[in-house]
Homo-oligomer: A and B are copies of this chain.
Amino acid sequence: MLNLTRDGEYAVRAVLYLSSQPEGKISLISEIAETQEVPKSYLSKIMQHLVRAGLVRSRRGINGGFMLARPAESITMRQAIEAVEGPIFLNICLVKKGECHRDDFCPVHPVWKEAQRRLLEVLDGKTMAALASDGEALSKKVKKKQK
């Protein structure tokens, strides 16, 4: 259906939240869930995926919680999404050569290849650090407007 699932959406929100926190701070799942408006028990699953994918580090027990496993500059939007949704393929023939047996004579195949390239270019080009900085700028603007 060519659209993002809630998994992907929530993953981006969660990683972005962690990226916006001060270096070294540990965030609770309930804190992320509330600010990012994600159901807490659902978010729990998302966070597990992010940990396994190596984007986020977790600590259990008292004073536990989540923090980024790597610098926000090194995490792209694509990585956050693919951590929970798996690799992005706009059409099955992009999975690998031969996945659709028509691919060697199909004129549509190259179009999907190009479309996917352009889409990923955008998602690869946006780091969580950049998003966090954009977010700060935006929240200043919004506050000004509310005056």
Contacts and interface: CB of A to CB of B under 8 A. Distances in A.
Interface of A: 1-5, 8-9, 12-13, 16, 37, 77, 85, 88-92, 102, 104-108, 110-112, 114-115, 118-119, 121-123, 126, 131-132, 134-135, 138-139, 142
A49 B104 CA distance: 28
A12 B100 CA distance: 15
Given A13-B108, A105-B142, 7 more contacts: A1-B85, A2-B8, A2-B90, A37-B102, A90-B119, A105-B138, A115-B119
Contacts of A106: 135, 138
Contact of A111 (B2, B77, B102, B104): B77
A20 B88 CA distance: 31
A90 B18 CA distance: 24
Contacts of A92: 3
Contacts of A121: 118
